[in-house]
Amino acid sequence: MAASTKAKTNYRVREALTADGPALVPIINAAYRGNGGWTTEADLVAGVRIDIDRITTAIESPNVIVLVIEDADEDKLIGSMEIEHYDADTRAPLYDGRTTDAVLLGLFAIEPAYQSRGAGSFLLDATLELARKLGKKRAFIWVIHIRTEMIAWYSKRGFTKTGHAVEFVDPKRLKVQDANFAEFVLDL
C-alpha cells in the first residue's frame, strides 16, 4: 500500500520482520521519550519505551501483528503500530490464541522528523483497514489521560472515550502522580 501526502512523501505499510527490530527501537524511543516531535512523553515517563528484546518478541509473536511504515522514496523505516487481540470485557490483550471482535492498538510511533506530515494518519488508516479485514468490529487504544493533544488527535479520528481507566504498567517510571491510561474505542 503506498500513497502521497502534502509533503510529497510516499509512504508504504507492511508487516514488520524480525530484521526491522534494530531500526525500530531508536524510532520508537525517539517518538515516545525523545525531545523532538509532538508525541513525546519524556516529561511524563522515565526510561526507554522499548528495547530490542521487547520489539523482537512482539514481531515474532503469533498473537501480535506489528506493522511498519516506510518512506518509500528513501526506503527507510519511519514508524510502527502493533495490533493485539483484545478482550474488551476483561480489558486485557489476549496472548493465548483466543480472538474476539476487538483489537488493541499500541506501539504507535512515528519518527519525529516525519510527524505532522501525514505518516501517522496513513499508518493508522492502514492498521484499521487490516483490522477490518481480520473481521474486527472495534479498535481500542490507551492514551495517558493527561495527554490532551493526543486525545484530541484520536478524537478527531473518531475514537471515543470509554470511561475506563487502565493502570500504568510500571508506575515507578512515572514522573507525574496518578497518571493512568484512558481507554478509547473506534467502531470499525
**Calpha distance 12→121 (Å, rounded):** 12
Encode burial over 18-34: b for 16+ CB neighbours within 10 A, e otherwise: eebbebbbebbbbbbbb
Backbone φ and ψ for 153, nearest 5 degrees, come out as -65, -45
How many C-beta neighbours within 10 Å does residue 184 have? Answer: 22
Q: What's the one-letter identity of residue 174?
A: L
**Prediction pTM value:** 0.89
In the predicted model, is pLDDT for residue 57 greater than 70? yes
Please tell me the predicted confidence (pLDDT) of residue 168: 82
**Calpha distance 144→75 (Å, rounded):** 32
* Residue 6 pLDDT class (50, 70, 90 cuts): very low
In DSSP notation, 112-164 reads GGGTTTTHHHHHHHHHHHHHHHTT--EEEEEEETT-HHHHHHHHHTT-EEEEE
According to CATH, the topology of domain 2-139 is Aminopeptidase (3.40.630)
In the predicted model, is pLDDT for residue 1 greater than 60? no
Q: Is 90 helix (H, G, I), strand (E, B) or coil?
A: coil
Q: Are the C-beta atoms of residues 178 and 167 closer than 8 Å to each other? A: no
Residues 113-139, mean pLDDT to the nearest whole number: 94
Q: Are the C-beta atoms of residues 30 and 36 closer than 8 Å to each other? A: yes
* Residue 80 pLDDT class (50, 70, 90 cuts): very high
Domain coordinates in residue numbering, the chain:
2-139
* Residue 67 pLDDT class (50, 70, 90 cuts): very high
In the predicted model, is pLDDT for residue 75 greater than 90? yes
